[in-house]
């Protein structure tokens, strides 16, 4: 075995790594011997002759490693180790006990008090160096882990700040989307309109609404923009402008004739105009589906178009239901797409429902769809109620079917209840 003079191991420290060591021993000779080895390896150990003195030092500066004798008067190495480990520190402190003890029970006692390693006396320089290296590796790993945790914490803090900004934007977007939805109930001459709107998250792509073509003509629509989130909501906001209730010049359902007067577009032409507008003016990957109805409030005669949207439902006065429409492509996918204007007749007491697929495609825990049959059954079963109460009955029925499964799509619908044409 090499003597202490022959140990030529590389330094334990570098310019980038200042390694702070405290040596504690009530023997001045032992203290001097251990410290001399450490100085040869590039360290500048602090020396203390008692655990009490060492504890005072530890309260004023942080040491990376402590090498302490076990057997000392007043406060022994185990007691000092326990006190050292209890100190509030920013970093981990490595503790080596110098001892002549070798019994397993005593080693276990040392570990229980927080000791990280043991070194037998008399101290062998090669063994001391090896223990120091082992401790240094652990300290470096611990420091690397702390640095990573710090970076993770800083990153999480930045992400939290970004999340708060996004949440604020989403809340504002949700308010915007709700502002696009008309009042949820309105009485008209010869009819009532009721609206159901329940987004699955902060913002989505559903839009329902109505406007007057003329005193006796009502335009009513249900729209479902593809996707979710802010981008879908922005498209929805743009579409709300294209179907403005207050400005015929902005409403794509109107066009000017050669005299400059507003005339009504047929439902199919409205769908075609929206398709052209979306493809020409809006640089987006989104598309949307549409059901639009033009209702004569006097006669109940209704023209409608279906563009990739669920089939409109007529609920007759006696509770029977009819799905109407022959379909059509979604809007914003095919340039020059053609749509068909279809007709239906509403009689006194009949209802017309336009709705999004968030209702019929609602799933329960078994991945079963609510589907059109269940919806029509609910529409018939609750025929005794009207207006918003009727709409809430449908939402309650869908919720009971889902039985706690979250809604993965917006739920929206608009209902017209016809009270004219008693003949």
pLDDT in the model for residue 103: 60
Residue showing tokens 């503790």: 95
pLDDT in the model for residue 4: 43
pLDDT in the model for residue 238: 86
Instruction: Give Cα 76 to chain centroid, integer Å.
Output: 54
Chosen CATH of 181-418 out of 3.40.50.620, 1.20.1600.10, 3.50.50.60, 3.60.40.10: 3.60.40.10
**Percentages helix, strand, coil for the chain, rounded to the nearest 5?**
40, 25, 40
The sheet with strand 185-188 has its strands ordered as: 185-188, 191-198, 411-418, 351-355, 313-315, 321-323
What's the CA gap between 297 and 416, in Å, rounded? 10
Tell me the Cα Rg of the chain: 40
Nearest Cα neighbor of 208 from 183, 228, 244, 181 is 181
pLDDT in the model for residue 406: 86
Maximal C-alpha separation, the chain: 119
pLDDT in tens, the chain (423 residues): 444 444 445 566 544 556 899 999 999 999 999 999 999 888 899 999 999 999 999 988 889 999 999 999 989 999 999 999 999 888 889 999 888 766 677 777 878 888 898 888 888 899 999 988 888 888 888 888 888 988 998 888 888 888 777 677 666 666 666 666 778 899 998 999 999 988 776 566 789 999 999 989 999 999 999 877 777 777 888 888 899 888 888 899 999 888 878 899 999 999 999 999 988 876 678 899 999 999 999 999 999 999 999 999 999 999 999 999 999 999 999 999 999 999 999 999 999 999 999 999 999 999 999 999 999 999 999 999 999 999 999 999 999 999 988 888 889 999 999 998 776
- What is the full DSSP assignment across 158-184? HHHHHHHHHHHHHHHHHHHHHHHS--S
pLDDT in the model for residue 10: 54
Report the relative pairing of strands 411-418 and 185-188 from DSSP bridges.
Answer: unpaired
What's the CA gap between 213 and 255, in Å, rounded? 11
Which residues belong to CATH 3.60.40.10 in the chain?
Answer: 181-418
What's the CA gap between 105 and 97, in Å, rounded? 15
Which residues belong to CATH 3.40.50.2300 in the chain?
Answer: 16-149
Give the contacts of 4 (CB within 8 A, at least 6 positions apart): 37, 125
pLDDT in the model for residue 106: 73
* CATH code of domain 16-149: 3.40.50.2300
């Amino acid at each position: 075995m090499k003597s202490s003079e022959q140990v030529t191991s590389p330094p334990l420290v570098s310019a980038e790594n200042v390694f702070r060591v405290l040596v504690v021993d009530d023997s001045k000779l032992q203290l001097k011997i251990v410290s001399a080895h450490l100085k040869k390896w590039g360290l500048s150990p602090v020396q203390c002759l008692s655990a009490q003195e060492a504890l005072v030092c530890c309260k004023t500066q942080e040491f990376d490693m402590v090498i302490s004798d076990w057997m000392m008067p007043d406060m022994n190495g185990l007691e000092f180790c326990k006190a050292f480990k209890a100190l509030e520190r920013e970093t981990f402190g490595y503790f080596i006990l110098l001892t002549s003890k070798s019994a397993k029970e005593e080693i276990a006692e040392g570990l229980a008090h927080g000791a990280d390693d043991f070194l037998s006396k008399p101290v062998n320089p090669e063994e001391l160096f090896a223990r120091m290296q082992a401790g240094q590796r652990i300290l470096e790993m611990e420091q690397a882990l702390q640095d990573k945790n710090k970076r993770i914490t800083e990153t999480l803090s930045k992400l939290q700040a970004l999340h708060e900004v996004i949440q604020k934007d989403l809340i504002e977007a949700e308010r915007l989307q709700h502002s696009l939805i008309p009042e949820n109930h309105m009485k008209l001459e010869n009819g009532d309109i009721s609206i159901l709107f329940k987004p699955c998250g902060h913002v989505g792509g559903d839009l329902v609404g109505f406007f007057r073509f003329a005193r006796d003509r009502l335009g009513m629509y249900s729209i479902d923009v593809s996707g979710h989130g802010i981008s879908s909501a922005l498209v929805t906001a743009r579409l709300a402008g294209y179907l403005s209730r207050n400005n015929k010049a902005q409403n794509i359902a109107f066009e000017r004739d050669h005299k400059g007067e507003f005339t009504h577009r047929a439902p199919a032409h409205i769908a075609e105009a929206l398709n052209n507008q979306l493809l020409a003016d809006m640089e987006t990957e989104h598309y949307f589906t549409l059901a639009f109805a033009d209702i004569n409030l006097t006669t109940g005669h209704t023209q409608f178009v279906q563009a990739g949207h669920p089939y409109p439902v007529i609920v007759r006065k006696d509770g029977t239901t009819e799905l109407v429409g022959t379909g059509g492509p979604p809007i914003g996918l095919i340039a020059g797409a053609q749509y068909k204007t279809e007709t239906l007749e509403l009689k006194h007491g009949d209802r017309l429902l336009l709705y999004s697929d968030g209702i019929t495609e609602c799933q329960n825990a078994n991945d079963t769809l609510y589907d059109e049959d269940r919806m029509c059954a609910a529409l018939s079963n609750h025929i005794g109620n009207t207006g918003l109460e009727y709409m809430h009955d449908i939402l309650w029925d869908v919720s009971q079917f889902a039985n706690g499964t979250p809604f993965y799509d917006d739920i929206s619908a608009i209902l017209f209840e016809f009270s004219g044409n008693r003949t």
